[in-house]
Amino acid sequence: MRHFLIDTDTAGDDTTALLLLARTTNIALEGVTTVAGNVDVQQATENALYTLQIADRASQVPVYAGASRPLLYPLQTATDVHGADGMGNAHYPPAIQRPEQTHAVEAICRLADQWAGRLEIVAIGPLTNIALAVRLDPLLPKKIRHLWVMGGAVHAQGNVTPAAEFNFYVDPHAVHIVLDAGFPLTLLGWEICVRDGVLSDAFFEEIEGLQTPLTSFFLQTNRLVRAFDKSHGVAGATQPDALLTAVALQPTLATKSAPAFLQVAVDDNATRGMTVADLLLLDRTKNATVVRGVDAGAFQQRMRDLLEGNPLVAQER
Binding residues for ligand RIB, per CB under 6 A?
A: 11, 13-14, 37-38, 78, 124-125, 150, 159, 165-167, 190, 240-241
Return the number of the residue (14 or 196) whose C-beta is nearest Ca ion: 14
CB of 8 to Ca ion, least distance (A): 6
Quote the DSSP letter at residue 274. Answer: B
Q: Within a 10 A sphere around the Cβ of 309, how many other Cβ atoms?
A: 14
CB of 156 to ligand RIB, least distance (A): 12
CB of 111 to ligand RIB, least distance (A): 21
- Are 236 and 207 in contact by the 8 Å Cβ rule? The answer is no
Q: How far apart are CA 93 and CA 87, in angstroms?
A: 12
Return the number of the residue (14 or 30) whose C-beta is nearest Ca ion: 14
Choose among Ca ion, ligand RIB, none what residue 166 binds, the Cβ cut-off being 5 to 8 Å by kind.
ligand RIB
**Phi then psi for 2, rounded to 5 degrees?**
-95, 145
CB of 158 to ligand RIB, least distance (A): 8
Choose among Ca ion, ligand RIB, none what residue 169 binds, the Cβ cut-off being 5 to 8 Å by kind.
none
CA atoms in the 13 A half-sphere facing the CB of 42: 2
Which stretches of the chain bind Ca ion, using CB under 5 A?
Answer: 9, 14, 124-125, 241
Q: Within a 10 A sphere around the Cβ of 58, how many other Cβ atoms?
A: 14
Angle of helix 223-231 versus helix 12-22 axis, rounded to 10: 130
Choose among ligand RIB, Ca ion, none what residue 196 binds, the Cβ cut-off being 5 to 8 Å by kind.
none
Choose among ligand RIB, Ca ion, none what residue 24 binds, the Cβ cut-off being 5 to 8 Å by kind.
none
Return the number of the residue (125 or 158) whose C-beta is nearest Ca ion: 125
**Phi then psi for 176, rounded to 5 degrees?**
-60, -45
Return the number of the residue (62 or 158) whose C-beta is nearest ligand RIB: 158
β-pair type (63-65, 27-34): parallel
CB of 159 to ligand RIB, least distance (A): 5
Q: How many residues are given for the chain?
A: 317
